[in-house]
Amino acid sequence: MNIFLQFYKNIRWIGQRYSRSEFLSIIGALCLLALTGTVIYSLIEGWSLLDALYATVITITTVGYGDFTPKSPQGRIFAIFFTLIAITIGGYSISTLAAYTIESRSRNIAARFRKQRMNRIKTLQHHFILCGADLLGTRIAEEFYMEKVDYVVIDDNETFIKSTLLYSHPEYFQQKLQTILDFHEADLSRFENLTLPELSEKLNVSYILGDPTDDTNLIQAGIDRAAGLIAARADDRDNLSIVIGARSLANRANNTTLRIMTRANDPSNVRKMYLAGADFVRIPTIMSGMEMASHMLHPEIGNWWYSRVGQGNQRRGMFQQVNVNDRPQWVGKTVAKIHELDQLLILTIKRKGEFISPPEFSLVLQPDDIAIILGRD
């Protein structure tokens, strides 16, 4: 009963999905073919209508059990031409219906994955929204994933999103990195053969396949509940549009604590980004250029830095931002004492809007201080 019910649902979906004329043409061709074979076989060979229908169906489906074969010359001549026509029309019709059915199943699976993904997004609170999944977006997503924070990726390029999720997978990233460094091939098909919805479920990372400049996608990503948004598209016009939309939507939803960071490729656009509502504007080329020059001038610093920022457990917790109010045992103690007790290094102290870098060992920590520390996880 379930088989027939599922078949009925598939046929009904096909009728709704495709034009009525196309659907009726396929069904009509099969019915006309079956009717023609049944009637003529019955008249020429003297078979019963049931036997003639049976012979017609096994001919159309190319099963051909051989238990019914025409005996008369007229029947055999008809069978020759009917078989050629039946294989052509019947094969096309059946394969088309099968393809429609498979597509229906694929669409149902995709719809189920999308429903699960959107339901997961609805439960997120104080998460981050990443708009853009090119190489820069991929690196941001890796960091989010390593820090185990909730985030949603928005991009209109499915290939970009899949690549971003793949490189967020620690095992895939490590194996991919080994192939680059050691010049040997590794079988990564068990990761790369996963569909985008399957990969999303495996990593428990949500995404929205759509244009991040569309406010609807920002709303679906939970802009009203998000802690932060990064506009990381390659086009400054896209980033400007995202910033304007995100700030407007956040204000309308009374999400006044939303932090917005954007990428700027042209320094002349930085001021516009701030005026549009961005809290932070970064120019990747400037930062990368400074880093590369520093590594060339001080190679061991560069070697140490890359050994720490590479994806791996040794990097987790390396840099931390600590509000002294959250660690009341630090209040009234010197930097040297905290270093001795907790085995960590305080790199800088932010006090009353100013950074004290590096802090003297005798500096006493006060409430509301923010410490940037280098330590273990």
Q: Please answer whether residues 340 and 202 qualify as being in contact, where contact means their C-beta atoms are separated by less than 8 angstroms.
A: no
Architecture of domain 2-114: Orthogonal Bundle (1.10)
Residues 151-202: tens digit of each pLDDT: 999 999 999 999 999 988 888 887 887 777 677 777 788 888 888 888 888 8
Residue 34 half-sphere exposure toward CB, CA atoms < 13 A: 18
pLDDT over threshold 70, residue 17:
no
pLDDT over threshold 50, residue 313:
no
Which pLDDT does position 168 carry in this prediction? Answer: 87
- What CATH class has 125-282? alpha beta
pTM of the model: 0.69
317 conformational bin, left if phi > 0, alpha if psi -120 to 50, beta if neither: left
Query: What CA–CA distances, in Å, run from 100 to 6, 15, 60, 109?
Result: 14, 10, 19, 14
Architecture of domain 317-374: 2-Layer Sandwich (3.30)
Residues 326-361: tens digit of each pLDDT: 998 999 999 898 888 888 888 899 998 899 988 999
DSSP, residue by residue, 33-47? HHHHHHHHHHHHH--
Any idea where the domains of the chain sit in the sequence?
2-114, 125-282, 317-374
Q: Which long-range contacts (CB under 8 A, 24 or more apart) does 5-11 make?
A: 10/100, 10/101, 10/104, 10/105
Which tokens hold the place of 71? 């005996």
Which tokens hold the place of 344? 């960590």
